[in-house]
A and B are shown apart, each in its own frame.
Chain A
């Protein structure tokens, strides 16, 4: 069992487990945390899972954990692992089942005061227009060739259908389309699970949330993002739905054999991986890109449905209810990126599982209008608590392959949360705080109770003070829509 004594403090908010801890570690493990978050991380198996990732062939420098780390399966949630091309490995479990689970933030120039009289109606219409639940099906029925077009084109496919505008795509990670997607690498099972699910939210911790912009720290950058105090914002948190789940299942199962073929020994079967330059590695990356594109398209269609919902309720009632897209980020993804390591530019495969890309100012992959300020980073809190808008930093590029945290991070099992919290009580508590809740399941609501999570503000303080993202604004929820 790990203890705080197994860590060496290398910076104020950076703790390291050296390779002497376990003989199979190829590199040290690093955790971004303050003392309290370090101790919380030691209460489950997340740090042991982080150490396991240090055994992956081709891993660079150190495996990294963010302050929201918690126990997952194989990789911990809140981990970043970079492997070197061409011989380093790609691990589907290092991306996770919900490929390109991510967050999109829309903001309005309307104030909360202006929409407050209609908030209940807005929540009801959002709940009705945006289908939720793990197996939920959307209203958009696609033919097989159309599904393949979405897998190849991502959110860009929505542009030609009137569900997106160019500004939305410019303000989406990878412009809403991961290159290299090949639908031929996606199984029939995955196609079938995904076909009816475009424009659906899913369940678990996925949500649509209407927020008030409660506090702004950097007014200049916030203004560039059209973020102003007291205005309305909307967050969408969801991913690639059954299609992504099935793609991960298919490749994790298939790689159980491949890993032996490549002579790779691992401490956990969920970590299975293959060399990036292998045929199997290429096939997974092409299938993963399909799921990522499906997720970008999914959040794009949900954004369209949300805009329709706002229009339906607010037209002729408020002046400016348009929703402008701040950004859309992925927090479960493996990306081929160039990073400077020891003064040399290297091509790496950066696995971010429960971690957000946070590219700093000057990054060539950012759109023209954001390049000088850096990439917006969206950190949703647990239900009923604050969420944050941050911006990527140069320090993140140096320290964490341009990565930062992704949320609050769980501390309590779903079973325990259901025992301790009654969904109806929680809904009443949120209502008393002025938060409207529309949820498909009371037990699902209880599982997502704030007490089941770490304090997101503390997590954000750590990444801000460590310099791997900078605080821009804080959002407070006023309506929550859940599966």
Chain B
């Protein structure tokens, strides 16, 4: 289980100031790690204490026209699954990641009540950039 306060000190993630919404600077050694760290942010923002012992596993495929679109579509797919199925995920496994495609498994539990706080993940000034440590991007989330 990941909760919002776990974001502080989370590896590869740093919250940056944004007047109305939430913004996160995310780093990864490669695209797979960047996508995993970005997912951790979403799981933390949307996460809550599981209110059910019912475990769930979701297998998903996501596509994009480039790295940025793949990143946003990936995070928005997690959001859609959590809010539609009233589930909270604590772990994700990514497979077969390219700049335009990924497969993933999400593990979590059912919630009796949604604790969702995110409306959408945006493309605002989004650019997946090369850095000395691998890749980095700043993602703005509409809350």
Contacts and interface: CB of A to CB of B under 8 A. Distances in A.
A222 to B, nearest CB: 32
A72 B20 contact: yes
Interface in B106-143: 113-126, 140, 142-143
A193 to B, nearest CB: 6
A74 to B, nearest CB: 6
Contacts of B122: 73-74, 93, 97, 252, 270
B52 interface: no
Nearest to A196: B84
B103 interface: no
B117 A97 contact: no
Interface string B52-82: 0000000000001110110011001000101
Contacts of A77: 20
Nearest to A204: B143
A242 B83 CA distance: 8
Interface residues of B, number: 37
Contacts of B72: 249, 253
Contact of B117 (A73, A134, A256, A269): A134
A135 B83 contact: yes
A253 B73 contact: yes
A464 interface: no
B20 A71 contact: yes
B96 interface: no
Interface stretch (A273-281, A371-379, A413-421): A413-421
B120 A249 contact: yes
Contacts of A46: 19
Interface string A83-126: 00000000001001110000000000000000000000000000
Contact of B19 (A70, A135, A242, A248): A70
A272 B115 CA distance: 31
A44 B82 CA distance: 32
A93 B118 CA distance: 16
Contact of B17 (A204, A413, A444): A413
B15 interface: yes
B32 interface: no
A415 B22 contact: yes
Interface centre among B84, B115, B143 (most CB of A within 10 A): B84
Contacts of A142: none
Interface string A198-209: 000001100000
Nearest to A242: B83
B4 to A, nearest CB: 8
Contact of A193 (B17, B83, B140): B83
A415 B17 contact: yes
B44 to A, nearest CB: 13
B126 A135 contact: no
Contacts of B22: 414-415
Nearest to B84: A192
Given A134-B117, A242-B83, A269 B17 contact: no
Contact of A203 (B82, B86, B117): B117
Given A98-B119, A134-B119, A256-B65, A44 B19 contact: yes
A202 to B, nearest CB: 8
Contacts of A257: 65
B114 A135 contact: yes
A74 B124 contact: yes
B80 A193 contact: yes
A137 B66 CA distance: 35
Given A256-B123, A413-B17, A135 B80 contact: no
A272 B123 contact: yes
Nearest to B22: A414
B17 A97 contact: no
Interface string B84-116: 101000000000000000000000000001111
A246 interface: yes
Nearest to B140: A73
A256 B84 contact: no
A284 B130 CA distance: 34
Interface in A191-238: 192-193, 203-204
A268 B68 CA distance: 12
B140 to A, nearest CB: 5
Contacts of B80: 189, 192-193, 246
Interface string B32-50: 0000000000000000000
Nearest to B21: A73
Interface string A114-157: 00000000000000000001111100000000000000000000
17 contacts: A71-B19, A72-B21, A74-B122, A74-B124, A97-B122, A98-B119, A133-B113, A135-B115, A192-B80, A242-B84, A249-B72, A268-B124, A270-B122, A270-B123, A270-B124, A413-B19, A415-B17
What 9 pairs across the A-B complex have the smallest Cβ distances? Answer: A135-B114, A73-B124, A135-B116, A134-B116, A269-B123, A71-B19, A73-B122, A270-B124, A97-B120
Given A93-B123, A270-B126, 19 more contacts: A74-B122, A77-B20, A96-B142, A98-B119, A134-B83, A134-B117, A135-B114, A137-B114, A193-B83, A203-B117, A204-B119, A246-B80, A249-B72, A252-B123, A269-B125, A270-B125, A410-B20, A411-B19, A415-B22
